[in-house]
Amino acid sequence: MASSAIPDRAPNPKPLGPKVRLRGLHLGSLPLGSLDVGPNHEGQPGRSDDGSQYREALREFITEVLRESIPFVDGVQPKLASTSTWKDSGSKRCASSEGNIGLYKRVVSKQELDRVDRLGGTEAKEKSETWYARRSRHRDLSFPGTATWGEFTRHFKEEHFRTEELWCKSVVSARRIKYWETTDLNVEIGGDLWNNISMDIVEMKHRIKPKPLMKDRKFPVILIAASLNDEREFIVISIPLNGFTSAEYKADEKSVGAAYASIERLRVLPSGEIEWIMATVSDAKGSIPQWIQKLAVPSVISKDVNMYMTWIAKERSGIPNEEQSPQNKISPHPSSQVVGRQSKLRQRWGKFKEMFAS
């Protein structure tokens, strides 16, 4: 909460930048010096071309990404103000988590996108970007319905893509393709020092229901994570990657290339509770209309909290997560259980929502 000694800032969004956008970045625009990973998704130590000669360019790139992302996600629940720059969209109750999940929306207009692109001498091709966000608060406890700071840090910063494949039911596969050497790399944003930085190229494949009508979606992304120095806070950013073709996924003609950008911020509040904010914009592409996607996103992102809390409780107790087996990777969405006197329109809407169940 804001201190009474700190005046509220006007709810004006911070200037946007060109990097954390749904349209993504091209492979050729990334800093040089990336390294391949071994068969177990681990870095290959001892390489002479460790990218040290490209370190300053890497620092500048990460600085720009963080400079865009930090104020953007902070607008959901500002640290130094009481007024959000995002539209409050209500809340949802999470069955496997304590407390409600706040939902938010922000439309980045074409004018804002044009303003960013004019800096580079171009005009935005997109009409707008519709971002959705969720915010939840959790007790720092190893207890059903919540998680410890150590668990959040391990699963969402240190082992982000590995863990997401385990707890997120829609993720079919995830693999680390490339990485940059970021040991001892620090960047300064607004007087704050950020460290423990990582930058990877990751490929993820998501299953979209109903099968076999809907094809899987594949997402190549740039994944950047950083911690705020001497604070219990970190941020994780995913940016769509263009111009990158993988031999494994390229040969998979049964999947459709899609895109999403996301920013997650986790921190310990002065009260001792853990705040978890996730903001995202996406395009599943293919034959799914945008209006259906936009209607489904708030429900989908709120379910992430429930899935993680259910999974971590079973991990602690040693109970097998049976839903992670291939035949049970996707569980039926409650909206598909249409019974009684529900209208045909409601049945159809349930099926549309089911496509995005995660």
**CA 285 to CA 278: how far, in whole Å?**
22
Q: What is the pLDDT of residue 324?
A: 41
Q: What is the pLDDT of residue 312?
A: 87
**CA 151 to CA 86: how far, in whole Å?**
28
Summarize pLDDT for 304-318 with one digit per residue, the tens.
898 888 888 888 887
Quick one: the chain helix, strand, coil %, rounded to 5? 30, 30, 40
Q: What is the pLDDT of residue 180?
A: 96
90 sits in the region (left: phi over 0; alpha: psi -120 to 50; else beta) called: left
Q: What is the pLDDT of residue 295?
A: 83
Q: Could you say which of 3.30.530.20, 3.40.50.300, 3.30.300.30, 3.30.470.30 is the CATH number of the domain covering 25-355? A: 3.30.530.20
Q: pLDDT in tens for each of the 358 residues of the chain?
A: 433 333 333 345 666 789 999 999 999 999 999 998 865 545 544 343 455 679 999 999 999 999 999 999 999 999 887 678 899 999 988 766 777 899 999 999 988 888 887 765 555 677 889 999 999 999 999 998 899 999 999 989 987 777 776 666 666 667 888 999 999 999 999 999 999 999 999 887 766 665 655 666 778 899 999 999 999 999 999 999 988 765 555 555 666 777 889 999 999 999 999 999 999 998 877 667 778 888 888 888 888 898 888 888 888 887 665 544 333 333 333 332 323 333 444 444 454 455 444 4
Give the closest residue to 21 by CA, choosing from 263, 196, 256. Answer: 263
User: In the chain, where are the structural domains located?
Assistant: 25-355
Backbone φ, ψ for residue 54 (5° rounding):
-105, 10
**Residue with the two structure tokens 């000694």:** 5
Read off the DSSP letter of residue 221: E
In which element (H, E) is residue 105 found? strand 100-109
57 Cβ contact list (under 8 Å, min separation 6): 31, 32, 33
**Residue with the two structure tokens 């539209």:** 87
Q: How many CB atoms lie within 10 A of CB 146?
A: 23
SS3 174: strand
**Residue with the two structure tokens 């050497």:** 181
**Residue with the two structure tokens 């720092």:** 140
Give the closest residue to 151 by CA, choosing from 288, 2, 266, 279. Answer: 266
Contact 297, 281 (CB under 8 A): no
Find how far residue 12's CA is from the centre of its chain.
24
Summarize pLDDT for 14-54 with one digit per residue, the tens.
667 899 999 999 999 999 999 988 655 455 443 434 556 79
Contact 293, 301 (CB under 8 A): no
**CA 66 to CA 188: how far, in whole Å?**
9
**CA 191 to CA 78: how far, in whole Å?**
17
**CA 19 to CA 242: how far, in whole Å?**
12
Task: At 292, list the tokens.
Answer: 């259906």
